[in-house]
Structure 1
Amino acid sequence: MTTSEHREPLPGATPIAPEDSVPASPEFPAHRWGFGAFLLVEAVLLASAAFVSVLVGEPAPGQPLPIRSVLLGTILPTMIAAGVALLATVVRGNGPVLDLRLHWRWPDVKVGLKFGALGLVVASLGAYVWTRLVGSADATSAISALVDDRKMSVSAAVVMFAYLWLVGPICEEIIYRGLLWGAVERLNWRGERWGRFAAFLLSTAVFAASHLEPLRTTLLLVIAIPIGLARLATGRLAGSVVAHSVNNFLPAVAILLGALGVTSI
């Protein structure tokens, strides 16, 4: 047998394709999860946030926020919800790599950096216009309000910075541009799939509304568009994760410095 002859795969063997040949949506293997999985994740997020807030309690006025409040009250609910999203893809699908498009590509990182930089510009302009029209108090995020006029311990401030810059974007992208995006792509309307553009529109809107900050929903919508465009342009999640992290970097630094009492948020 020569090397040019066709070789049949061994019985039961799974063909291995080159990394760059992994097809884009919708040619990935079908999964059995949909909106039900996303709604379950959202319910877990809200329930865990409510439970943890009761468990942690209200920090004493004027006292620095302890690391327990930051870890449990802010970070843990989002991480639990993202964990449930990953579990749903394992139990009802092909795992997060295929179902959530978690393939790592350096070109996706470059796209994410570009859209993240665009997001910083758009967010800055949007925040400026919003402040002029509505007022600075109404443009304050829930996390900014949490640390407003309150210092943190150094460890708590560093953990909060890491969450806002890295952990939070990864978890939120898994939930919204991963699980919700895949649920929308799975939908059929009169025999036609909704497609990636419908997933972009709906995930962007739900992401903005899910922060439960009604006064800032419009501003969050503007911020979310470049992040969703990174996911749309690459077809994978790494691009939107990078864009989200870049978009969060300066606000995370501002909150870190404010929480440490270096600057005023």
Structure 2
Amino acid sequence: MVENSGGRRVFGAHWAFVAFFAGVVGYHLVTLVTTAAVNHQTGDDDPLDLPAGPALLLAFLPNLVLGLGPVAGSLRFGAGLERDFGLRATWRDIRIGLACGALALVVGYLLNLGVLAVYGGDDVSDSPLTDLPDVSDGSYAWVAAAAAILIVVVPLTEELLVRGTLWNALVHHRVPSWVVLVLTALVFAQLHGESTRMIALFGQGLVLGLARYRSGRTAASMVAHAANNLPPAVLLFTGH
């Protein structure tokens, strides 16, 4: 079970904490830049006025940055990606991940229904994925690329950050397992920046964390996350 990420310190803090905050800071900085690039509409000659297809993929760039801190920290200060995170999925990881991914879908659906019942549909924001097909420049290729990123890249980078580095750092400091599970779920929900979906995201984060807890490996939570993202990725084509 991958539950220890070594004890090396960077700037006085455990390296996994530093890698986590580096990923979060990079994510928000790149989000600011990409948001400006996608939304900037000042003229045909503006270098930031991107075609719709590349702009679609540019929206995922901050997610890529999330994984840079964990990867760089592990390679430089940790024991390597496999020993720190357990990225090579075993059959046990896949079984646990698929089960937790299916459960996360159910939990998210039920919690969203509850939020809708309380606040009503007008006060609950749609997922950011809702508008992706509308900016795909009329090409299934761009939607397919976005779906692939949603299923493969997003689970990889988000899990490396939250249930990889942050989880390992908390475990290193002997934080109780149930506290680690709750804290990482809260960070996962907050990271998405969708206030009206926060409860559902928190519930799903708990289930994805359960995959990491049961297996002791980040690979299982990545499989669970990918399974959870599969239906929304497929739905991108129905809205095209």
TM-score by length of 2: 0.85
1:44 equivalent to 2:26? Answer: yes
The equivalent of 1:18 in structure 2 is none
User: Quick one: percent identity of the two aligned structures?
Assistant: 29
- In structure 2, how many angstroms separate the alpha carbons of the residues matched to 1:198 and 1:96? 24
Q: Structure 2: which amino acid aligns with 1:54? A: A
Bigger drift between 130-139 and 243-252 goes to 130-139
Q: Deviations over 1:236-255 (max 9, x none)?
A: 01110111111111111112
Cα 1:36–1:29 shift into 2, 3 Å: closer
Deviation at 1:209, TM superposition (A): 0.8
2:108 pairs with 1:108: no
Amino acid at match of 2:146: M
Instruction: Confirm or deny that 1:232 pairs with 2:232.
Output: no
* Aligned residue type for 1:142: P
Structure 1 segment 201-240 matched on structure 2, within 5 A: 201-240=182-221
Question: Does 2:151 match 1:165?
Answer: yes
The reply on whether 1:80 has 2:65 as its aligned counterpart is: yes
Task: State the alpha-carbon separation in 1 of the partners of residues 70 and 110 from structure 2.
Answer: 33
Map residues 138-217 of structure 1 onto 2, 5 A cutoff: 138-144=124-130, 146-147=131-132, 152=137, 153-187=139-173, 193-217=174-198
* Counterpart AA for 1:34: A
Structure 1 outlier segments of 4+, above 6 Å: none
Query: Unmatched 5+ residue regions in structure 2?
Result: 10-14, 43-50
What SS is found at the alignment partner of 1:34? helix
Q: Deviations over 1:17-36 (max 9, x none)?
A: xxxxxx5424x643430322
> Structure 1 residue 132: deviation in Å?
2.2
Aligned to 2:77: 92
- Give the partner amino acid of 1:130: V
Name the count of aligned residue pairs: 225
CA distance in 1, matches of 2:164, 2:107: 23
Q: Which amino acid aligns with 2:132?
A: V
Deviation at 1:160, TM superposition (A): 1.3
Higher share of residues assigned helix? 2
Shift of 1:136: 3.0
Aligned to 1:8: none
Please give the per-residue CA displacement for 1:82-137, whole angstroms capped at 9, x wherever unaligned. 12320111112112211223242111100111111111211222222222222335
- TM-score of the two chains, using structure 1 as the length reference: 0.77
CA–CA separation in structure 2 for the residues paired with 1:194 and 1:162: 35
Once the two structures are superposed, what CA deviation does each residue of 1:191-243 show, in whole Å capped at 9, x if it has no partner? xx114332211111110011111222112111212111001100001110111
Aligned mates of 1:173, 1:247 — CA distance in 2 = 13
In 2 relative to 1, CA 59–143 (structure 1 residues): closer, same or farther, beyond 3 Å?
A: farther
2:34 and 2:22 mapped to 1: Cα distance?
A: 18
Partner residue, 1:17: none
Root-mean-square deviation over aligned CA pairs: 2.2
What amino acid sits opposite 1:52 in the alignment? T
1:118 to 103, 108, 114: 103
Q: Distance in 1 between matches of 2:169 and 2:129?
A: 29
Unaligned runs of 5+ in 1: 1-22, 188-192, 261-265
Asked if 2 retains the 8 angstrom alpha-carbon contact of 1:34 and 1:186, the reply is no
Distance 1:182 1:110 in 2: 22
Matches of 1:199 and 1:97, distance apart in 2: 21
Please tell me whether the aligned partners of residues 182 and 199 of structure 1 are also in contact (alpha carbons under 8 angstroms): no
